[in-house]
Structures are given as C-alpha cells and as structure tokens.
Amino acid sequence: MPDTSTIDQVSTGNIIGNPHNVVLFNDEHHSMEEVAAQIMRAISCDSMRAAAIMLEAHSKGRAIVFTGGLERCELVSSILEEIRLGTKIEAV
C-alpha cells in the first residue's frame, strides 16, 4: 500500500499495466530553487506544489513526484535527471 503521507500526482491518462511512482531523492548539489524549477518542468505543476515536493525530499530523503503509467514515469524521471537529480521508478 502506498504511503499516503507522501505528496504525489496521479496521471490523468490511462494506465496500462501496474502504476509506478517516480521517486526523487534529496539532492545536496543543487539549490532548492533549481530542484523546484525542474519539478515544475517535469510534471507541469505550480511553484507551491513543486516546493512542497522538494521540501519533502529534503526533509525525508525522498518524495514521490509522480504516479502513473511506466512510459510517463520514464519521461518525468528523464526530465528530473537532465540536471542530474537522483530518481528511481518503482512499481506501486
């Protein structure tokens, strides 16, 4: 069962197969603003949501950025990794 205290965004598209999570790990190499900006690019969210996800990763060591189909998760993860943020895709 997924951790309901974690911030996530569910894809509105059809999920084929099992849903997956994109997990973002805490990052010590980028500013908080850089991480939040990349989250906004990856999932098209506003700055408040991106900041909440970034702060969760910072304080807990990881945060779920997105939940959806594997193909969309791979896209979200690749956008986050463009600036070398640590991510992982895991089955829900």
Question: What would the pLDDT profile of 45-56 be if each residue is shown by its tens digit?
Answer: 999 999 999 999
- On whether residue 21 sits in a domain, the answer given is no
Range of the structural domain that residue 52 is part of: 31-91
pLDDT band at 4 (very low <50, low <70, confident <90, very high): very low
Structure tokens that stand for 36 in this block: 């939040």
- Degrees to nearest 5, angle at CA 52 with 20 and 61: 65
Nearest to 19 by CA among 55, 87, 72: 72
- On whether residue 11 sits in a domain, the answer given is no
Give how many domains the chain has, as a whole number. Answer: 1
- On whether residue 83 sits in a domain, the answer given is yes
The model carries a pTM of 0.81
- On whether residue 61 sits in a domain, the answer given is yes
Q: Mean pLDDT over residues 14-27, rounded? A: 87
In angstroms, rounded to a whole number, what is the distance separating the alpha carbons of residues 6 and 8? 6
- On whether residue 73 sits in a domain, the answer given is yes
